[in-house]
Amino acid sequence: MPLLWRTKSNPLALWWALLTLASIANIAVWFFLYRELHSQALGGSSGIELMLLLCAAYVFGCAFRSVLPRADVQRICLFDHWLSSVFVGRSVATVAEVCFVAQWAIILGQLGRLTGADTTLNIAWVIVPLIVIAECCSWYAVLTTNYLYNAIENSIWAVAFLIVGVALCRLLPEFHGLVRWVLVAAIAGIVLYLAFLVTVDVPMYLARWKDGLADGSKLLGLLEGLRDVRTRWVVTHDITHWKGEIAWMSLYFTGAVWASLALCACYSLDDYLPRYRTEAAAVSWTAPSLPHAVSSDMLLGAFSR
């Protein structure tokens, strides 16, 4: 494999090296979390085990796409290998992205049940189906090379995380101290993400779609596109071909992965959340209590039987 492009004079090589280093660091953090939290999973907290699994799918999936980056509709990549095919990359991305939003759904469900916030619980149920629809739009865009469906896909992501932000805002009055600050930080991150989607990402895909209409670019049929994504990839080390991808890929493979890791860590703190409930919220809503004679061990025993 030619190595000439991987020189200090090529900014694309530096970008790829930074993505690769970030991926290695992210994987190391995941293994650290696994070591620290797996004991809780062994203790019977299957929720943590599921969160670790979902986080692994996203962290390792993004690492794979960082080491072998590709732009799906353009069919361009950095390395001439069958793993660089769009079919492989899009398949990995689909699994990883559904797992990522499933993490958000689990966290919202955890906080919604603790606080009795119906708004948060309802949003937890909605966001995964929304992203499944977005993934279908993404696949249609990739197969047909129709950028309009990339714009629709990212618009659905914007709607999904807009309502996630609403769910987190609903939780703000329920907590104080560190938990409230974590919620504020998450909301701020979502605001920045939405701003990027609305001002950069979606307009970029709409502009590409309009350019394609203007120059009469031929769209592919679904079967033709399926064959194309499996067999055609164009290796290019020209920075001009990647300029439109570098911004979103850099944010996606760093900030979004850090969010996934943070969700996994936050979920493990379930036992600490009640102490950060605001006094008014704790008084206004309490979980239904069992008779004093019934212990949690007895309840678990009944279910096990």
Tens-digit pLDDT profile for residues 151-177: 999 999 999 999 999 999 999 999 999
69 CB-near residues (< 8 Å, 6+ apart): 16, 19, 77, 78, 245, 249
Number of domains in the chain: 1
Q: What are phi and psi of 116, to 5 degrees?
A: 70, 25
- Using CA atoms, how far residue 142 sits from 77, 173, 186, 214, 247, in Å, is 14, 43, 31, 20, 19
Q: How far apart are CA 158 and CA 153, in angstroms?
A: 9
280 found inside a domain: no
62 against 286, higher pLDDT: 62
279 found inside a domain: no
Helix and strand totals (H; E) in the chain? 12, 3
304 found inside a domain: no
Report whether pLDDT(282) > 60.
Answer: no
Token code pair at residue 31:
């293994």
User: What is the predicted pLDDT for the residue at 199?
Assistant: 96
Report whether pLDDT(196) > 90.
Answer: yes
171 found inside a domain: yes
pLDDT in tens, 62-89: 999 999 999 999 999 999 999 999 999 9
Report whether pLDDT(4) > 50.
Answer: no
User: What is the predicted pLDDT for the residue at 222?
Assistant: 94
Range of the domain at 107: 11-273
Q: How far apart are CA 25 and CA 27, in angstroms?
A: 5
User: What is the predicted pLDDT for the residue at 6?
Assistant: 58
User: What is the predicted pLDDT for the residue at 2?
Assistant: 52
Token code pair at residue 237:
């080390």
What CA dihedral angle connects 163, 167, 172 and 175, to 10 degrees?
-150
pLDDT in tens, 114-128: 999 999 999 999 999
297 found inside a domain: no
- The region of weakest confidence among 165-169, 184-188, 280-284 is 280-284
Say if strands 234-235 and 76-77 run parallel, antiparallel, or are unpaired.
Answer: parallel
303 found inside a domain: no
Confidence of residue 270 (pLDDT cuts 50, 70, 90): confident
The CB-side HSE value for 176 (13 A sphere, CA atoms) comes to 7
User: What is the predicted pLDDT for the residue at 133?
Assistant: 98
195 against 284, higher pLDDT: 195
213 found inside a domain: yes
Three-class DSSP category at 57: helix
33 CB-near residues (< 8 Å, 6+ apart): 52, 55, 261, 264, 265
Report whether pLDDT(144) > 90.
Answer: yes
Confidence of residue 292 (pLDDT cuts 50, 70, 90): very low
Confidence of residue 278 (pLDDT cuts 50, 70, 90): confident
Mean pLDDT taken over the chain: 87
**Cβ-contact 240, 74 below 8 angstroms:** no
Confidence of residue 298 (pLDDT cuts 50, 70, 90): very low
Torsion sign (Cα): 25, 28, 29, 30: positive
Confidence of residue 231 (pLDDT cuts 50, 70, 90): very high
- Closest to 79 (Cα-Cα) out of 71, 89, 69, 88: 69
2 found inside a domain: no
118 CB-near residues (< 8 Å, 6+ apart): 112
Report whether pLDDT(209) > 70.
Answer: yes
**Cβ-contact 161, 192 below 8 angstroms:** no
Q: How far apart are CA 283 and CA 19, in angstroms?
A: 48
Token code pair at residue 67:
């080491």
- Using CA atoms, how far residue 121 sits from 53, 173, 213, 284, in Å, is 22, 16, 42, 18
- Closest to 111 (Cα-Cα) out of 157, 56, 58, 164: 164
